[in-house]
Amino acid sequence: MNDGGVTRVDCHVKVLDDAIVERATRVGLDVVVYAPHFTRLPDIRERAAAYSSDELLVVPGREVFTGAWHDRKHVLALGLEEPVPDFIPLETAMAEFERQDATVLAPHPEFATVSLTGADVRHYAETIDAVEVFNPKHLPWHNRRARELADELALSPFTSSYAHLPDTVGVAHTVFESAIDTEADLLEAFEAEIARRIVYKNGLQRVRTTARELTHLCYENTWKKADRLFLSGLEPTHPRHIAYDGRFDDVAVY
């Protein structure tokens, strides 16, 4: 799965099917972290297992939307044993991650209204295992600020394609100087601060990728958001969904 102890990981993708696996393999990835929006952990795990092979390891993850719709803070958790819903306070989610000893990543920090702020990252620096320092949706100053934040707090960096579109998979990835053959290996690589390199495309391809992904972000936060809020009923990851057995009813933010 890896080449001489070096493992290429796309640390966060939203899409997964045969075409995604083919593209990931073609661009030389060894591992992808699959963390789709509004999908329950058992379903993510089942789909990740179905698409894993000797050539590509698919690791399940949950990007939890903490807070309310207008000010949600995304946190990426790996290694969860029990489901954690969206739309709960940040402090509740972080406490749940600690209870489960999850690996906690800060994706796209300080980006728009969907991210941990610098103050959040500082407050939870002991819980967070790594900070994303490059994201294809970011404009250059977002990436610079993310890198400065990671350096300031001595937190390990990572990058991902954050692919919501198939062609984005692999355009940014993290190269770990370690063999990663299992989910547990990846969690260990993050938590043990294994040496790594941040790899991403630059130039015209990067501009095109950013434009396409930002266009998709606008769609997600207009029509798709309205559809989810008013037409589609209760999300599978809503804290009051029956799947959570009432554990989070008292902390649901809407």
What is the full DSSP assignment across 116-154? --HHHHHHTTTT--EEEEE-TTS-HHHHHHHHHHHHHHT
Does residue 8 surpass a pLDDT of 90?
yes
Dist. CA 138–CA 211, nearest whole Å: 10
Is the Cβ–Cβ distance between 80 and 24 less than 8 Å? no
Mean pLDDT of 146-157: 97
Is the Cβ–Cβ distance between 107 and 135 less than 8 Å? yes
Question: In the predicted model, what is the mean pLDDT of the chain?
Answer: 89
Mapped onto helix, strand or coil, the DSSP state of residue 220 is: helix
Does residue 186 surpass a pLDDT of 50?
yes
Q: How much is the pLDDT for 27?
A: 95
Q: How much is the pLDDT for 231?
A: 44
Query: Percent of the chain beyond pLDDT 90?
Result: 74
Q: How much is the pLDDT for 127?
A: 98
Dist. CA 31–CA 52, nearest whole Å: 9
The mean-pLDDT minimum among 16-30, 75-89, 188-202, 208-222 falls in 208-222
More confident residue, 208 or 98: 98
Dist. CA 57–CA 153, nearest whole Å: 30
Query: Percent of the chain beyond pLDDT 70?
Result: 86
Does residue 240 surpass a pLDDT of 60?
yes
The mean-pLDDT minimum among 148-152, 227-231, 244-248 falls in 227-231
Q: How much is the pLDDT for 136?
A: 87
Three-state DSSP string of 17-53: CHHHHHHHHHCCCCEEEECCCCCCHHHHHHHHHHHCC
Does residue 158 surpass a pLDDT of 90?
yes
Q: How much is the pLDDT for 230?
A: 47
Mean pLDDT of 23-43: 96
Dist. CA 141–CA 136, nearest whole Å: 12
With b meaning 16 or more CB within 10 Å and e meaning fewer, what string describes 197-220? ebebbeeeebeebbebbeebbeee
What is the number of alpha carbons within 13 Å of residue 184 lying toward its C-beta? 0
Does residue 11 surpass a pLDDT of 90?
yes
Residues near 216 by beta carbon (within 8 Å), at least 6 away in sequence: 164, 165
More confident residue, 173 or 234: 173
Comparing CA positions, the residue from 172, 165, 184 lying closest to residue 9 is 172
What is the model's pTM? 0.89
Q: How much is the pLDDT for 5?
A: 87
pLDDT digits 0-9 by tens, 188-230: 999 999 999 999 976 666 656 656 666 655 656 554 554 554 4
Comparing CA positions, the residue from 135, 136, 127 lying closest to residue 107 is 135
